[in-house]
Structures are given as structure tokens and as C-alpha cells.
Amino acid sequence: MARWAWLCLAAAVAACAGKPTPLANDAYVWQRQWTPSLARAVADDGGSVRAWRVLAAEMDARGQWRTFTPDGKVLAASGKPVVAVVRIEGQLQQWDEAALLANVQAVLTVWRQQPFAFAGVEIDHDCATSRLPAYAHFLQALRPSLASRERLSITALPTWLDSADLDKLIAQADESVLQVHAVQSPRAGLFNPDTARTWSAAYARHTHKPWRVALPAYGTRVSWDEQGRVASIESERPTLMGAEDSRELFAEPRTMQRFVAALEKDAPRGLTGIVWFRLPTGDDARAWSGASWRAVLGRQPLLASLTAVASGTDDPQRYDVRLVNDGDADLPLPSLIRIDGACMAADGINGYALQRGASGLYLQRVRVGVLRAGRQQAAGWLRCEAAPALHIES
């Protein structure tokens, strides 16, 4: 009996050893203003989140300091620990260390008085590699300001991986967050799973402390001017600037879900969690939908269901073309909508244009976009003798 009990125990241990360990989810709350929509998002989406990392203050490229006031009652009601994030513009060439230290200490004093569980501070400074020694010196000066239960965290960039000063920087913090999205030229895209995996493996060789990886849960539109320089970046809301050379960048939920599954199956040494950027709200036009967000964070299967529908109108020969996303996965707009029917006229809208080919009419995507879960979007209109059949192609 003892031998069989031992064998059963060994089998159970082996089974557990082969099961991927879920990585804890943290989320960045990056909004400058606490709107009712943001409050609802914190209340509704906290179930899958271990801790909130909330933007508390920032210093811009001119050295000007701004602070932001969180809704302490909303954060307290979520029951999650809160980390205050201090963003220091990476383009800042130099700083007054004493003044910056005093500013951060003032933030700590205010946030300790909030009703939520204050867990520590994260410094987000995407500086040039040459600035790492000055950055490490500042962190060393900041550490005595933290209480014993408060943790000092920093964000880290893949561009620092070849620097001899990286290990000294990491040593000043209790933990770090490796950012693997939006760190290359926008023309390279927002996120590349293979590159992110390579960076993560390399970073694990540098640090001997717990670390997390920052992953994207949003999209953005980047425009370039005639000289090829970035003219505008549209994040939560569209800007008033326009440019012919523009591109929509998007972290597709299914891609991120596959990446997380692979990461959990073979996690780099020391990796303890994920920090998602950013918490989506109803006001955020380019963040994931709530359905995709909850499915990815909850490690639930995503249902992809995208169809094209020709809807009748008051005119018996006119039909409106709509794309319908009935699933819970935010999906890229399809490249083609083929029209199977006897149609005399047609046209595309919202990023689609009419094309004629040997096989007939079709609507071709001329601008990259995303259709969020549970949403519909008009793509064109048709004038046909009878209701046409529509077929979408990715």
C-alpha cells in the first residue's frame, strides 16, 4: 500500500509540474482624469486583476511637474493593492535630482493618505542608455523614502539589454516591468511575439529579482509627415491632425492570448506576472472591448465571429452593407467583401472602396481598422435586383 501511495503521489506531482502556472494580471490605469466610465471599469474589471498601477505624476521633457488625483474610494472598493506610477519623460536630458526626489516624496505622502492599500511606487523613465547611471543614482536616493512594506518598481526597456549599467539599475529596485510593446519604430508595428519572447529571455538573464512583462491591450493610429517623421499618435481619442501617410496599429486579443499561453507554458526565470496597458473604458476608442479584455485576462477561449450582412432599406433595390462582430474577440477589418449578386451600382465607406474584378464586384479595405466585440460597422451600399450574398476574406 505504501508503495502504491508513493507512486500515486509521484504521479500527482508530475501532473502538477506539467501544468502551466498562471501569471498574475496587473493593469495600468493611465487616464489623467477619473471619469464615471473609468470608475465603472475599475469596479467591473477588477476580478481578474491582482493590482492597479495608477498614473500619479509625470515630468515632461521641459522638466515641468504634474500630479493626478485618483478616485481613492473607487480604488479602495476594488480591494486591490495600488502602485503609484511616476512617469519621467525619456527625452529629459537632465534633472535636478533633489527637486525630483522632493516631488516624488510629496506624491508618496499624499497617496499614503488614500483609503486604498498603497503598495509602493513605480518609476517609468524611458531614458537613453547613456542616462542609466544617473537613473540608478536617483533610485538609490529614493529608496530610503519608502516604508518597509512599500516596494520600489521600475519599467525597463529592451534597448537597455546590451548595457553594462542595466544590472546596476535593476539592483536598485525591488521588482521591474519589462515593456515589450511600442518600443520600436511605429513602422515595425505595436507588438511582435517572437521579438518579445527573445527580449524576455534575455532580460531574465540580467535580473535576480521578481519581474513582470508589460503587454498591450490597445491600438493606436500613427501618422507621418512628408519628411517621414511621426506627425501624430492617436491613442484614446482621435486628434485633429491629419496626414495621408498613416497606419492603424493594434494588439489583437487572439495574438496576445496565444503569447500569454506560450509564456505560461515556459516562463523565463523570475517572471511573476503581466502588467496590461491599459485598462479599457467605454470612453477609450482604441482599447480592447470589455469582452476581449475579460476573456484574455481570465484565460478564457475567444470566440471569433465576423460576418458581412446586406440589409434591406426603404428602396427595394438598395442594400446597406454592414460588418457584424457577434463574438467576444476584437477583430481586424477584413481585407475584402465579395459581392455575389446582380448589382448595378455600389460604393464603399468607412475604409472600404469599390473594386471591379473578373469575378465581379467587391469592397476592398483601403484603411486598416478594428471592429470591437459586439459592434457593427457600415462598409458600403449596393443597388441590386435582389438581395446579394456577401463573403468576407481576411
Task: Say what angle helices 193-204 and 253-265 make with each other, to 10 degrees.
Answer: 30
What's the angle, vertex CA 134, arms to CA 129 and CA 138, rounded to 5? 130
In the chain, the domains with their CATH numbers are 16-297 (3.20.20.80), 306-393 (2.60.40)
* 394 residues of the chain, pLDDT tens digit each: 444 444 344 434 434 455 678 999 999 999 999 999 999 999 997 789 999 999 999 999 999 999 999 999 999 999 999 999 999 999 998 999 999 999 999 999 999 999 999 999 999 999 999 999 999 999 999 999 999 999 999 999 999 999 999 999 999 999 999 999 988 866 778 999 999 999 999 999 999 999 999 999 998 765 434 554 544 445 544 433 444 555 778 999 999 999 999 999 999 999 999 999 999 998 888 899 999 999 999 999 999 999 999 999 999 999 999 999 999 999 999 999 999 999 999 999 999 999 998 888 999 999 888 999 999 999 999 999 999 999 999 8
Task: Give the H/E segment covering residue 74.
Answer: helix 72-78
pLDDT of residue 241: 40
pLDDT of residue 245: 53
pLDDT of residue 3: 41
Q: How many CB atoms lie within 10 A of CB 389?
A: 11
Maximum Cα interatomic distance, the chain, rounded to a whole number of Å:
82
Instruction: Please check whether residue 155 is in contact with residue 177, taking contact to mean a CB–CB distance below 8 angstroms.
Output: yes
pLDDT of residue 249: 87
Q: How many CB atoms lie within 10 A of CB 148?
A: 5
pLDDT of residue 265: 97
Question: What's the Cα-to-Cα distance from 54 to each of 8, 27, 28, 89, 278, rounded to whole Å?
Answer: 46, 8, 6, 16, 10
Place of cell 440589409: 311
pLDDT of residue 50: 97
Cell reading at 132: 542609466
For residues 34 and 70, what is the distance between their CA atoms, to the nearest angstrom? 7
| pTM of the predicted protein model | 0.89
Instruction: Please check whether residue 337 is in contact with residue 363, taking contact to mean a CB–CB distance below 8 angstroms.
Output: yes
| 3-class secondary-structure state, position 156 | strand
What's the angle, vertex CA 48, arms to CA 46 and CA 52, rounded to 5? 50
Label residue 185 exposed, middle or buried (CB < 10 Å: 0-12, 13-18, 19+): exposed
3-state DSSP helix/strand/coil percent for the chain, to nearest 5? 30, 35, 35
Question: What's the Cα-to-Cα distance from 156 to each of 143, 170, 267, rounded to whole Å?
Answer: 18, 8, 18
For residues 194 and 98, what is the distance between their CA atoms, to the nearest angstrom? 41
pLDDT of residue 144: 97
Instruction: Please check whether residue 209 is in contact with residue 170, taking contact to mean a CB–CB distance below 8 angstroms.
Output: yes
| 3-class secondary-structure state, position 241 | coil
pLDDT of residue 168: 97
Cβ partners under 8 Å of residue 158, min gap 6: 178, 179, 180, 183, 199, 202, 203
The amino acid occupying position 213 is V
